[in-house]
Structure 1
Amino acid sequence: MPAPIRVDFYFSPASPYAYLASTQMMQLQVETGCRVDWHPLWGRALVNAAGYNPSQAAAVSGQFRPEYRSTDLARWARLYNVPFRNHADVVIPDPQRLAIACVAAKRFDAGQVFARALMKAIFVEGRTPADEALCLSIANDTAGIEPHLFQPKMDDPETAALLDASVQAAVAAGCFGVPSFVVHHPDGGSEMVFGNDRLPLLKQAVRAARDAGA
C-alpha cells in the first residue's frame, strides 16, 4: 500500500481564515486518506519574506475592507457549520508570540491539539487578551504541559529558529500568505494551494497526487 499523500498546512493562529481552514483538515484526511502536518508561523513574517503585502499596496482590494471581511468570514462559518464569532474585540498583543507558543507545543508533540485549542479560544470563545498567559493556560489544560515547562520552551532560541525555518520553508514552496497548503507528490514534486476558499482545489490536488502514485 502506498504511503499517504503528505500535506503541509501553514497557518497563523491569529488568522481567522486559518482557523476556518483548520476545521476542515480532519475531513480532508478522512475523504482523501492524506496526512496533514501543521506548521505554525506568523502570517506577517511570511508575507514580508515572500516580498508581497497586499495591505500596503497602492490600491488595496475591497476584499480587505473590515466590513466585507466580517461578512465573508461569517458566510464561510455557516457553510462549514462551525462556530465562529467576531473576534474584533479580542486583543492580541503579539501575534508572533502566539506562533511561538504553537511551535513550543509542537516540541512537546502537542502541536495540533494546542493550536486547535488556541484558535478556538480566540475565534469561538473570544477569550481576551490572547497573550502569553492564555497560551500557558491552554498548554496546561489541553496538553498537560505545566507552565514551568512550557514557558522555557517558548523562550528557547531553538523555538524561534524553528519558527523562522517554517517561514523559509513556506516561501521556498511558493507560499505568500496563510492559510497555505503544500501537497507533496510521490515523485518528489509538490504544489502549493493558497487560501481557505480554495479547499476544493486542495482536495483535487491531493486526489490527483494519490492517483498518480497508486
Structure 2
Amino acid sequence: MPMPAPITVDFYFSASSPYAYLASTQMLPLQIETGCRVDWYPLWGRGVISAAGYDFSAAIPTSGALQPAYRRLDTARWAKLYKVPFRSDTETAIPDPRLLALAGVAARRFDAGQVFARALMKAIFVDGAPRADTDLCIRIANDTAGIEPHLFQPMMEDGETARILDSTIATAVADGCFGVPSFVVKGPNGAKEMVFGNDRIALLKQVIKEMKASG
C-alpha cells in the first residue's frame, strides 16, 4: 500500500523580519512533530502587504503593536519562550529588504535556499552584522553553500530572479497571505489553508494535524 503524500507547508518569510526569524527557528521542530514538509519562500514584508492591498506605513501611527519599544519587548519575549538567541535591538542596517529577498531567490535557484536563509537571518538577528547588503549576501552564499561570488551576484541581478520573486508574492497573496511570516498548508487532496504570524504556530500545528486526519 503506497504511503500517503506528506502535508506540505509553504513558509513565506522575509529575512529582514524579526518575527520571520523567530518563526524560522520553529520549522524543524514543526516537521519533526507533525511529519510535514516545509518549503521556504523568500519575499519581503512590505512587498506582500502592498500586493495584498494594504498600506503598512499608514498603520504604523495607529497600531501599538507596531511601535518599536513594544516590538523589541515582544520579540525578546518570544526568543525567551523559544530558547533561541536573538538580538532584540539589532544594529544591523537593512537598506533594501527587497535585495535580501532577491538574494534568497538566487540561493533557491542554486538549491541552497534554506541554508542561505538561515545563515542570513542568523547574521542579522543573532550576530548583529553591521549591514545586510549585497556584500553580506555574497559572503554568506560562498561560506554556507560554496556559491562563488562571480556566480551568485549575477544570479541576484538576473531578470528571472526578479520575475520569480514577483511570482512568489503573487502566489502568496492568491493563497490569502497579507504579511510575514505566513504559512500555507497544503494537503494531498488539494486542501489548502493559510495561517499568519509567528504567534500562531500552535494553530499551524492544529491545521496540519486536522488536514492529516482528514486524509
Counterpart residue identity of residue 196, structure 1: N
Residues 12-62 of structure 1 deviation map (CA, whole Å, 9 limit, x = unaligned): 000000000000000000000000000000111100000113441386221
Q: Which amino acid aligns with 1:143?
A: A
Q: Matches of 2:35 and 2:55 in 1, distance apart?
A: 34
- Does the 8 A contact of 2:195 with 2:203 survive in 1? yes
- 1:64 matched to 2:71? The reply is no
Of residues 23, 26, 29, the one that matches 2:28 is 26
Matching residue within 115, 133, 136 for 1:134: 136
Q: For 1:89, what is the secondary structure of its paired residue?
A: coil
8 A contact 1:100–1:154 mirrored in 2: yes
How do 1:141-156 and structure 2 match up within 5 A?
141-156=143-158
Consecutive aligned runs of 4 or more in structure 1 exceeding 4 Å deviation: none
- The one-letter code sitting in structure 2 at the alignment partner of 1:127 is A
Separation of aligned partners in 2, 1:193 and 1:212: 18
From 181, 184, 190, the equivalent of 1:182 is 184
Q: 51-60 or 179-188, which moves further after superposition?
A: 51-60
Secondary structure of the residue aligned to 1:73 is helix
Matches of 1:82 and 1:20 in 2, distance apart?
Answer: 8
Partner SS for 1:186 = coil
Unaligned ranges ≥5, structure 1? none
* 2:159 is the counterpart of 1:162: no
Q: Secondary structure at the match of 1:105?
A: helix
TM, length-normalised to structure 2: 0.96
Which residue of structure 1 aligns with residue 88 of structure 2?
Answer: 86
Deviation at 1:111, TM superposition (A): 0.1
- In structure 2, the CA distance between the partners of 1:135 and 1:176, relative to structure 1 (3 Å rule), is same
- Partners of 1:58 and 1:153 lie apart in 2 by 34
Number of residue equivalences? 213
Query: Does the 8 Å contact 1:186/1:212 carry over to 2?
Result: no
Which residue of the partner structure matches residue 5 of structure 1?
7
Q: Percent identity?
A: 67
Asked if the contact 1:9/1:39 (under 8 Å) is kept, the reply is yes
Tell me how far 1:93 sits from its aligned partner. 1.3
- Asked whether the 8 Å contact 2:60–2:66 carries over to 1, the reply is no
Question: Which residue in 1 is equivalent to 2:213?
Answer: 211
C-alpha distance in structure 1 between counterparts of 2:34 and 2:182, whole Å: 18
TM-score (norm 1): 0.97
User: Quick one: structure 1 residues 67 and 35, their matched pair in 2 at CA, closer, same or farther if it must change by over 3 Å?
Assistant: same
Instruction: Name 2:43's counterpart in structure 1.
Output: 41
Deviations 1:57-93 (A, max 9, x none): 3862211111000000000000000000034421111
Q: Cα distance, 1:128 vs. partner?
A: 1.5
Give the Cα separation in 2 of the matches to 1:172 and 1:117: 29
SS in 2 for 1:3: coil
Secondary structure at 1:57 match in 2: helix
CA contact (8 A) 2:184 2:195 kept: yes
